[in-house]
Each structure stands twice: as C-alpha cells, then as structure tokens.
Amino acid sequence: MRKPAAKTLGIVMAGALLSACANFESKPAGKDEMQKRVVDDQRLMYANQEPVTGPITFYEAAARALKYNLDYRLKLMESALAANLRDVSSYEMLPKLVASAGRTGRNNDSGGTSIGIEDGQVSLRPSTSEERYHNLSGLTLSWSVLDFGIAYYRAQQKNDQILMAEERRRKVAQNVLQDVRNAYWRALSAQRLKPEVDALLRQTQKALTAAREAEAKGFLPKQEALAYQRALLDSVYLLTVRRQDLEFAQAELVALMSLPPGTKMVLAESVEQALPTSNVDVAELEQLALESRPEIMEEWYRKRVNQTDIDIAKMQLWPNIGVDFSGQYDSNAYLYNNSWSQAGIRVSLNLLQLLQLPSLNAAQQAQAQTDDTRRIALSMAVLTQVRIGTLRYQLASQELAFADDSLRVDANLLEYARAAKSTSIGNQLEVIRAEGRYLLSRYQREAAYSSAQAAWGRMYNSVGFDVLPETIDQQDVKTLANAIQATVTEQQLRRPKYLLNTGSSGVEAVPVAQ
C-alpha cells in the first residue's frame, strides 16, 4: 500500500504545482506604487548636487552639466559596465576546477552474477560490491585549448567594446558642452536684456495709452495718431516675442545643468573678448576631424569587434585538445581503494564543421567591406559637418559685424531723439520708438554674438577635440570647472594657430555701452 500512496501523493503535489504556475499572472502597478516611484525618481534626479552659491561662469555651467547631466552619467555607467564585463570574461581563460560532493543510496542491493558464454551456466552466485548508501567526493581540474582560445578572443573583444563605450562617452560630453555653449550665451543675453525689455514694455504701454487719448482729444491728426499706435503695437509684439526667446534660453540652460526646480541662477558678467578670425584652413580641419571624431573611432573599434566574431567562429573549426586531472573519494566499504586520482588527455575534431570554412571566409570579407563602407560614409558626413561648420561660422561672423553696425546707428538715433525731445506727444512717442529700436538692435546684437559663439563651438566640436579632464565624479564643481578650463587651454596650445586665442571657449561678455 505504500507505493500507491506515495505515487498518489506525488501526482497531487505535481498537480498543485502546475496549477500554481498556471494561475500566476503579473499585476499592474498600483497608484501608490507609481506615486512612490515618481517621488524616488525625482529625488534621484537631483541627488548629491552642490548648491549654487554665486554667479555661474561658462566653465562652471559646463562643469555642472557634465557632472550632473543624466545622459552623460548614463554613458559613464556604460563604460564602467563594459570594463566590468571585460574583467569577468578574463576569468574564462583559467582552467576549470570543479569540486563535487554527494551521497547516493538505493532501496536494495546492487549486484549481479556471471554466466558462461559458451554453455550459459551460472558460474558465480549473486554478489555485490557496493553499499546501499555511500558518500562521493571529487576535485577535477580540466583545461581546453579551444575554450582558452575563445575566452582570449572574447577578452580582446571586451577591450574593444570598452573603447567603443569610451568614444560614446566622449561624444556625449562634446555634445553636452556644445549645448551648454549654445544656451549659456543666450541665457546671459536674457539676464541682461529682460529687465530692460520689461521696463520698455511698460513704458510702451503707457505711450500707447497716451496716443489713444491724444487721438480721442484731437491733439494729433487721426492718421498720424494711428500710425504711431501701429508703430508702438509692432514694437510691443516684437519685444514680447524676444522676451519669450529669452525665457526659453534660461530654461534650457537650467535643464542642461540639471538644477532642481526653483533654483536661483545668476550668470557671471565679465569683459567680452573678440571672437577668433573666420579665416581657417579647412583641409587641415578635415584631417584633424578624421583623426579625432569619436564616431569614426567607434566604427573602427566596431570593425575589430565584428572581425573577432568571425575569428571565434573559425577557431571552433580547430581540433580541440583537453586535459583532465581529478582526485576522487568513495566511502563504499567494498572498494579495495576508496580514494584515487586519474588524468587524461583528449583530442576531438568535428569534421563536418570544416564545411563552414568557405562561408566564414566570405562572411569575413563581406563584414570587412560593410564596416569600411559604413566608416567611409560616416567620414564623408564628418567632412561635410566641418565644411558647413566653417561656412556657418563665417556667416555668423558677418552677421555679428552687421549687428554691431546696426546697433551703432540705432544708438545714435536714440541719442538724437533724446536730444530733440520736447513736451509734444509726437516727440515723446518718437523717443519711445527709438528706444524700442535700440533695444531690439541690442537683442539682435546679443543674438548674433550668441549665434557666432554657437557656430564657433559647432566648428570646434565638428573636429572632435577633447576638452575634458580624466576624472569628473571625484571633483567638486569649482575644481572641475578649473580643470576643464586648463584642459581647453592645453588643447589649444597643441593645435594650429587658427584655433588659438578663442574668446568663444568660455569668456563671458558684458553689455554693450549705452
């Protein structure tokens, strides 16, 4: 009766286990769980950030963006993960050392008898040489040439993947710095111009009200009054649009630096320096770009990774040589020797796998051609970026020169209007219109300077220059800002003359004299 009962119990337990697995369903996250996740994510976004204690320079903005930018931190983690995976794969080249222990048992004796081959007669009575219950243990050392070779190639592949991750980190860092450069100068312009724009908007609204009253009371001809109102409304519209641009610029810089919401941000003011000349040697820039751009280097390492995959597949066609050595112990009392050691060597070869060799050779050649074509296409795109970046900087420099001329003319017009100011409404409105034109010219000049800075940074970035120190996480914002500035200076000293003395690398500007 014991066997049917045990069998029935086993069937019941198996059925219960299968039923539990079949009824297992994933449940969507609850509202409380989602709210907790949101709170935790928001806390992690701004965790361990240094507070803003003073005006922020360009280099400090770049340091904060690189230290706290989530995209850059993600690339740092990817680089660390690739290095850890390399360390793990390096252990695969070691021999395998396996320790085992266990206990075996059965419900009856293991044994047998012998019969004669010719007559079929029993020659020995049934006997056993194994205890029903006994312990086993062993220690086996094995090494395979094929496993070692594959692990060696995998380790080399992981090294190349680390280099690829490092190139991606370089690219993200360069893009972050470029974004900071674009946003910083626009945000600095916003900091300078917003108070003046707000004051002029209030003054323009008052003048618009006065013009309407003058029209209603007949102090001005109707056509002239309407023309002044039209001019004032156009000025209000343009100033409002420009003010929105200024708001967006500051919000963009705050986001790039990953500052917590509500953080007060003041940008540092200093002497504006001239931008470098737009006369550059495009051919030398292109050569530098082909040597330095992270995307091209990543594709070069990718080619080596892909070639390693083919090499591993070819290695699996080789004969495999394995060596084993082990020590064993068995507590079986019927054994003559309860402990022993053994060694062996084996050679194996899958003959049918040799048929893959022509296909592998063709795949290797096709893979190499594909990788080269992809890299060459990317190189062509890089050269195009360099040429376009150079042209954009030249045009931005011309636009800045034109904006300087316009600002000078509007400043003189404003001075003339103020000198000719009288108590008449027409003259007062003319002064307001001149102030509006002057402020718009200032905005256009600041925008042109910001665009020139961005164009210079884009051209500098298109070459692929590094402007980062070796370490970032271990430094505070101030130290990191100084390290970035020193790295930029050192980088410039090692480059051609047309990349020296770049005021756009981080020199903050001051307002134009009024």
Residue 355: exposure state from Cβ atoms within 10 A (0-12, 13-18, ≥19):
exposed
Q: Which pLDDT score, from 0 to 100, does residue 62 have?
A: 86
Contact 69, 258 (CB under 8 A): yes
Assess if residue 183 is contained within a domain: yes
Computed on alpha carbons and rounded to an integer, the radius of gyration of the chain in Å comes to 39
Assess if residue 5 is contained within a domain: no
By C-alpha distance, which of 44, 181, 50 is closest to 473? 50
By C-alpha distance, which of 513, 473, 469 is closest to 490? 469
By C-alpha distance, which of 56, 182, 60, 70 is closest to 483? 60
Assess if residue 64 is contained within a domain: yes
Assess if residue 323 is contained within a domain: yes
Q: Which pLDDT score, from 0 to 100, does residue 373 have?
A: 92
3-state secondary structure 44-78: HHCCCCCCCCCCECHHHHHHHHHHHCHHHHHHHHH
Contacts 24+ apart (CB under 8 A), 367-374: 367/306, 367/307, 367/310, 368/303, 368/307, 371/299, 371/302, 371/303, 371/306, 372/303, 374/299
Contact 259, 265 (CB under 8 A): yes
Q: Which pLDDT score, from 0 to 100, does residue 304 have?
A: 92
Q: Which positions of the chain have pLDDT values less than 50?
A: 1-2, 497-498, 500-514
Domain with 94, as residue range(s), is: 58-103+130-463+474-505
Q: Which pLDDT score, from 0 to 100, does residue 502 have?
A: 43
pLDDT in tens, 162-194: 888 888 888 888 888 888 888 888 888 888 888
Q: β-strand 339-348 against 320-330: which pairing, if any?
A: antiparallel
Vertex 436, ends 430 and 439: CA angle to 5°? 140
- Asked whether the CA dihedral 31, 37, 38, 39 is positive or negative, the reply is positive
Say what the alpha-carbon torsion angle 9, 12, 15, 16 is, to the nearest 10 degrees: -110
Assess if residue 3 is contained within a domain: no
Distance CA 473, CA 483 (A): 13
Residue 330 pairs in a beta bridge with 136
pLDDT in tens, 359-393: 989 988 998 999 999 999 999 999 999 999 888 98
By C-alpha distance, which of 324, 309, 262, 511 is closest to 411? 511
Assess if residue 454 is contained within a domain: yes
Assess if residue 142 is contained within a domain: yes
State the CATH number of the domain containing residue 137: 1.20.1600.10
Q: Is 443 left (phi over 0), alpha (psi -120 to 50) or beta?
A: alpha
Contacts 24+ apart (CB under 8 A), 321-324: 321/144, 321/145, 321/146, 321/345, 321/346, 321/347, 322/142, 322/143, 322/144, 322/145, 322/346, 322/347, 322/348, 323/142, 323/143, 323/144, 324/140, 324/141, 324/142
3-state secondary structure 254-282: HHHCCCCCCCCCCECCCCCCCCCCCCCCH
Q: Which pLDDT score, from 0 to 100, does residue 19 have?
A: 60
Q: β-strand 122-130 against 133-144: which pairing, if any?
A: unpaired
Confidence (pTM) = 0.72
Amino acid identity for residue 71 in this structure: D
Q: Which pLDDT score, from 0 to 100, does residue 139 have?
A: 92
Assess if residue 21 is contained within a domain: no
Q: How many domains does the chain have?
A: 1
